[in-house]
């Protein structure tokens, strides 16, 4: 107590920056300046692929994931769209997506002219396998499990269901670069895996993405779609797949250089983050007032997010406010305040079935014979978990003292409830 007022557990500032940009250093400078020195900012300039940072980045992700193929792109959303097109998904198809993921996951499905089917998540905040299987219709072509907040999905169950029904699995690894499930890299389970290098991710190029796959046809089609002139570049004449119209989703050499430097630090960052999260969870796991998020594979958790649940939404709001007063920044996930675009009910153009054209959308095109409906309350279990969830962002620069502050603040707050 100071002057009769409660003294917060933590009084010093919480000054951690973004995971990615806080690691900018000499390697980023060396590789980016190297691109400028070479005067080769477009990956297909010249005939030597070894001089391309984008090609070197692809090599790194082939090695990391064990994939036969990797394709660098200008965004994670571009990677998702390209993977869907590469897998032959399009008009008339339904693609199952979780209720908790960034809006780009659903948007990618719509850009591919398919229809997103939104299903429940469970207490891992990732796709609920039972809800996934229950949502399958004759029009279902694929599923996109999303490894949210660095937490791996229940991939054993998801793959079993997908294989049983002959469905394509495309992993969204945007928020879990470097994660794994039972020792296998995330992104290597399905027909394709998609990564993001946007600034808020663990690895950044400002913007950028990566697609990995073992499927030769997916890779051939993805190459064509990601570059409207792909088959006409000298280095790509070996692609014998019939050409079709594509976009321009190529990654620049400067962005590739940044991603290449950053990607070499993934394992080091994750080890630090896992140690931090393990320290904090060990210090609070005995508390009866809260329930920790279920992690399908804790060894594969990227560990930059600590989530726990309170019994009710009202208690979560009160706990969050008290925890903030103890000096620990945190947030409730679904609080009817900021319209978080990671929550399905806030995907306005999906909820309203609004496409770029008023007259021709994936929902009303002649190829689609299904009848998907959306409503803000269509996934009550997901909303319940999100209503009761509190999230604390973790950072690789956190010290033992920082971890103990978090533990003590949570314990003090729990004792007051």
Residues assigned a catalytic role: 201
38 close to 46: Cβ distance less than 8 angstroms: no
Distances (CA, A) of 29 to 25, 208, 259, 405: 7, 18, 12, 35
- E runs forming strands in 289-410: 291-292, 305-309, 331-332, 389-393
Cα separation, 183 vs 297, in Å, equals 9
Cα separation, 342 vs 234, in Å, equals 41
386 contact partners, CB below 8 Å, separation of at least 6: 100, 125, 333, 334, 343
Cα separation, 16 vs 272, in Å, equals 14
Length of the chain measured in residues: 417
Q: Please tell me the number of Cα atoms within 13 Å of 247 on its side-chain side.
A: 18
Among 345, 291, 275, 256, smallest CA distance to 58 is for 256
Cα separation, 42 vs 10, in Å, equals 49
The residue assigned the tokens 């300046």 is 33
155 contact partners, CB below 8 Å, separation of at least 6: 145, 181, 182, 189, 296
The residue assigned the tokens 């990607």 is 263
Cα separation, 4 vs 354, in Å, equals 56
172 close to 322: Cβ distance less than 8 angstroms: no
């Amino acid at each position: 107590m100071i002057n009769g007022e409660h003294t917060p557990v933590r009084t010093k500032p919480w000054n951690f920056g973004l995971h990615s940009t806080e690691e900018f250093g000499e390697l980023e400078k060396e590789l980016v300046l190297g691109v400028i020195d070479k005067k080769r900012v477009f990956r297909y300039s010249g005939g030597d692929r070894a001089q391309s940072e984008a090609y070197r980045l692809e090599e790194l992700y082939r090695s990391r994931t064990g994939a036969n193929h990797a394709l660098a792109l200008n965004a994670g959303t571009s990677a998702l769209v390209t993977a869907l097109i590469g897998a032959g998904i399009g008009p008339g198809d339904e693609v199952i997506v979780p209720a908790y993921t960034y809006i780009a996951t659903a948007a990618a499905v719509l850009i591919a002219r398919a229809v997103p089917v939104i299903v429940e998540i469970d207490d891992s905040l990732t796709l609920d396998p039972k809800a996934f299987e229950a949502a399958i219709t004759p029009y279902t072509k694929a599923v996109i499990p999303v490894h949210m907040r660095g937490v791996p999905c229940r991939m054993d169950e998801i793959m079993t269901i997908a294989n049983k029904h002959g469905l394509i699995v495309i992993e969204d690894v945007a928020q879990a670069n470097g994660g794994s499930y039972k020792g296998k890299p995330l992104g290597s389970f399905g027909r394709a895996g998609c990564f993001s290098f946007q600034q808020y991710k663990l690895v950044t190029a400002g913007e950028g993405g990566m697609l990995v796959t073992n499927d030769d046809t997916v890779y051939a089609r993805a190459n064509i779609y990601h570059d409207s002139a792909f088959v006409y570049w000298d280095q790509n004449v070996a692609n014998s797949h019939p050409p079709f119209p594509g976009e321009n989703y190529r990654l620049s050499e400067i962005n590739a250089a940044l991603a290449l430097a950053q990607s070499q630090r993934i394992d080091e960052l994750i080890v630090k983050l896992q140690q931090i999260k393990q320290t904090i969870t060990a210090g609070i796991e005995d508390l009866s007032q809260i329930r920790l998020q279920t992690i399908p594979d804790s060894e594969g958790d990227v560990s930059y997010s600590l989530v726990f649940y309170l019994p009710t939404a009202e208690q979560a709001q009160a706990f969050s406010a008290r925890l903030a007063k103890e000096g620990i920044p945190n947030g409730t996930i679904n609080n009817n305040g900021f319209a978080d675009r990671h929550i399905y009910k806030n995907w306005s153009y999906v909820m309203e079935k609004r496409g770029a054209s008023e007259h021709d959308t994936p929902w009303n095109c002649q190829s689609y014979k299904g009848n998907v409906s959306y409503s803000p309350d269509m996934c009550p279990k997901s909303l319940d978990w999100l209503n009761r969830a509190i999230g604390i962002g973790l950072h690789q620069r956190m010290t033992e003292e920082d971890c103990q502050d978090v533990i003590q603040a949570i314990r003090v707050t729990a004792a007051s409830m």
